[in-house]
Amino acid sequence: MSSIDPKELSALMSLPYSVETQTKIAKLLNADGDEQSQVATEEHFEGALMFLSITSSKIVGKPTTLSHSFASAVLGKICLTAMSAQALFRDHEVRKFPTLDHSSIAVLSRTIIESSIMYWYLTEEVNEEEWAFRLQVMGNSAGHSCRR
Q: Note the pLDDT tens digit of each residue in 71-115.
A: 888 888 888 898 888 888 887 777 777 788 889 999 999 999 999
Asked if 11 and 78 sit in the same domain, the reply is no
Maximum pairwise Cα distance, the chain: 62
Distance of CA 95 to the CA centre of its chain: 23
Q: What is residue 142's predicted lDDT score, i.e. its pLDDT?
A: 57
Q: CA-CA distances (angstroms) from residue 7 to 28, 31, 32, 40, 90?
A: 12, 16, 19, 20, 27
Asked if 51 and 112 sit in the same domain, the reply is yes
Task: Please tell me the distance from the alpha carbon of residue 139 to that of residue 106, in angstroms, as a whole number.
Answer: 28
pLDDT of residue 125 exceeding 50 = yes
Asked if 33 and 80 sit in the same domain, the reply is no
- Asked, for residue 86, whether it belongs to a domain, the answer is yes
pLDDT-derived band at 129, boundaries 50, 70, 90: very high
- Asked, for residue 147, whether it belongs to a domain, the answer is no
Task: Please tell me the distance from the alpha carbon of residue 78 to that of residue 91, in angstroms, as a whole number.
Answer: 20
Task: Please tell me the distance from the alpha carbon of residue 104 to that of residue 82, in angstroms, as a whole number.
Answer: 12
